[in-house]
C-alpha cells in the first residue's frame, strides 16, 4: 500500500464532510473498528456526498453511474464509541469516470482513506462521456491538494 498524499490526511482539504456514529457491533475481537465497518462508514459518507451534488438533475433518462472499484487504506485503529468524520471530494475526472476521494477521521486524526471509481453509463449499459455540465458540477467539489 502506498502512503496517501499528505493533503489527504487533513479534514479541511475535503469540500464535504459527514459525521457518522460508530456502533458497538462495528468492533472486532480486539475492540477496534473492523474492516467491514470502515467500508460501511465510507459508503455512508459517499451516499451523503452524492446527494449533496444533486447529480440526479444532470443525468439524462436511462443514464446512471456505477461503482467500478473501491480501495480502502487502513492507517490507524478506529474506536467505538467515537464518531467518525468522513471527508469527501472529487479527485481525478476522466472521460466517462471520476474518483471520489475520502478520508475517515477520529479526533481530527486520519484513520483510513478510500478511493471509489465511478463510471457514467448511457442507455444500454456502455460507458458514456460526461457532459460538460456534469463535469463542471464535479469540478466544484475537488479535493484541495496542497
Give dist(CA 87, CA 48) in Å, integer. Answer: 11
Helix (H) or strand (E) holding 46: helix 35-53
Model-wide pTM > 0.85: yes
Return the domain boundaries, the chain: 6-139
The string of pLDDT tens digits covering residues 75-130 is 999 999 999 999 999 999 999 999 999 999 999 999 999 999 999 988 887 889 99
Task: From the options 3.30.930.10, 3.60.130.10, 3.10.129.10, 3.30.420.40, give the CATH code of 6-139.
Answer: 3.10.129.10
Helix (H) or strand (E) holding 93: strand 84-93
Which residues, in sequence order, are CB contacts of 89 under 8 Å at separation 6+?
13, 14, 15, 16, 100, 101, 102, 141, 142, 143, 144
Confidence at residue 30, expressed as pLDDT on a 0 to 100 scale: 82
Confidence at residue 134, expressed as pLDDT on a 0 to 100 scale: 87
Phi-psi region of 138 (alpha: psi -120 to 50; beta: other; left: phi over 0): alpha
Confidence at residue 16, expressed as pLDDT on a 0 to 100 scale: 97
Name the pairing type of β-strands 109-121 and 16-20: unpaired
Give dist(CA 141, CA 20) in Å, integer. Answer: 20
The string of pLDDT tens digits covering residues 34-90 is 999 999 999 999 999 988 886 666 677 777 889 999 999 999 999 999 999 999 999
Confidence at residue 51, expressed as pLDDT on a 0 to 100 scale: 86
Task: Report the pLDDT averaged over residues 128-136.
Answer: 89
Helix (H) or strand (E) holding 52: helix 35-53
Task: Report the pLDDT averaged over residues 119-145.
Answer: 89
Which residues, in sequence order, are CB contacts of 136 under 8 Å at separation 6+?
none
Amino acid at each position: 500500500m502506498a502512503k496517501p498524499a499528505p493533503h489527504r490526511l487533513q479534514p479541511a482539504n475535503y469540500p464535504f464532510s459527514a459525521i457518522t456514529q460508530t456502533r458497538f457491533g462495528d468492533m472486532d475481537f480486539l475492540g477496534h473498528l473492523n474492516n467491514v465497518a470502515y467500508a460501511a462508514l465510507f459508503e455512508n459518507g459517499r451516499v451523503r456526498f452524492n446527494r449533496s451534488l444533486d447529480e440526479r438533475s444532470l443525468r439524462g433518462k436511462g443514464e446512471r453511474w456505477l461503482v467500478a472499484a473501491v480501495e480502502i487504506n487502513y492507517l490507524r485503529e478506529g474506536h467505538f464509541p467515537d464518531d467518525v468524520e468522513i471527508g469527501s471530494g472529487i479527485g481525478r475526472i476522466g472521460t466517462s469516470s471520476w474518483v471520489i476521494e475520502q478520508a475517515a477521521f477520529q479526533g481530527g486524526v486520519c484513520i483510513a482513506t478510500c478511493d471509489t471509481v465511478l463510471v457514467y453509463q448511457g442507455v444500454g449499459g456502455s460507458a458514456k462521456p460526461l457532459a460538460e455540465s456534469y463535469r463542471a458540477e464535479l469540478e466544484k467539489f475537488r479535493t484541495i491538494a496542497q
